[in-house]
Amino acid sequence: MSSDEIAIIGAGLCGLALALSLHQKSIPCTIYEARPASLNIGGAIMLSPNALRILDTLGVYSRIADKGYHFDLLYFRSPDDKPLDTYEFGNKERYGYHGLRIYRHVLIDELLAMCAERQIPIHYNRKFIRVVRETASEVTWEFDDGSEQTGRLLVGADGIHSRVRRYLYPDLEPTFTNAIGVTAAVPMSHLTVPDGYKMPVTIINPTHGAFVIAPQQPDASEVLIGRQKRLVDQASRAEWANLMNNKDWCIEFLRDGAADFPPIVQTAVADIPRDHINLWPFYVVPALPHWMSVEHHCRVVVLGDAAHAIPPTAGQGINQGFEDVYTFAAVLDRTARSDKKALPRTLLLWQSARQARIDRVLDLNRQIDARRLPESEGGDPAADQAPFDQQWLFEPDFDQMVDEWFTQL
């Protein structure tokens, strides 16, 4: 059995960003991933100024800035293609950054390259099974090959279906929201786009729901098209796998009701490439009382989707994950420089402050849903139409934020 300073379970976006954040603070860490390589599923993600500021501080932003599509506003339009609303997602003058839409695999590749440059160990085919024991100074866990490892902290950055979280909440299962997203990547040249048409755009139809068109690639040569659908939970993993691999069903769903949308939608769905179709079910995790093992010694922590799964309405899922990992590393560093015995107390303070921001994001989601969804899906025609205030979300100085937390101790 060997020993780590901090062990990270999961080599996805949060796990890799956490490793870089810890390395920047000179805190040794090791990443363990169950798969033979980092998972690159899905298409592009949207990064807002709060996350881009973190990535910039870590040295990542300069390496990805020219590899994605920059934008500031998300536009919402009526079934007859008239402007309804806008939602700010970036503003270089106000927040220092435009919003950035970038393929997930592009960002993962850069994070992996930076981890390699910094000689941060990543071990693949190492599936976490269970925590064996936890003491006041360390935690020991087991892999699927029966081997054990010990470290000062074990961090679960292993997603919404987290195995690490089972140690904290053995009976908790993510809840299916009865909604799925179906998306495809289509060449921009396939679309008939009116002069001056603003994108990314969501066209809202009270009968068929919303249709999303979002440019991607640095030159906007490609667009993501997508819709959401209400769906009862599938009875088995096999049925889920069958549906997720059914490209014909996905294409039919994207085309359903297209005649009731503007021509830009009709041309977007006319010729959908089958090799760039994604379907994913939306799950949520109920608010957790604790993100760490408070009943023991706080040597096991979860963050990102393992701690909170945020619906995609405000586009803050991965952005909040990056906030988690950066502030977590800052709290560990600050604790080490003050009083190591205070770790449980400082981790509880970190979680409380992070949950407060998550709760505000969830409130923002509800405000957006009320204004954008049809009444049949929970929309509210009488909802306040005042401009959204994202200053609190996009502008924080996270190092200063952590310093302010420590004044409360």
pLDDT digits (tens, 9 = 90+) for 235-273: 565 676 777 788 999 999 999 999 999 999 999 999 999
Residue with token string 């014909």? 248
Mean pLDDT computed over 313-342: 91
User: 355 or 383, which is more confident?
Assistant: 355
CA dihedral 203, 388, 350, 38 (to 10 degrees): 20
Residue 2 has pLDDT above 50, yes or no: no
Backbone angles phi, psi at 283, to 5 degrees: -115, 155
Decide if pLDDT at 178 tops 50: yes
Residue carrying structure tokens 């970190």:
350
Domain boundaries, the chain: 2-78+96-174+285-406, 178-283
178-283 and 2-78+96-174+285-406 share a CATH fold? no
CATH of 2-78+96-174+285-406, one of 2.60.40.10, 3.50.50.60, 3.40.50.970, 3.40.1050.10: 3.50.50.60
End-to-end CA distance of the chain: 36
Structural fold of domain 178-283: D-Amino Acid Oxidase; Chain A, domain 2 (3.30.9)
Region of poorest pLDDT, from 46-50, 119-123, 124-128, 363-367: 363-367
The pTM of the whole model exceeds 0.85: yes
The beta-strand segments (E) located in 332-374 are none
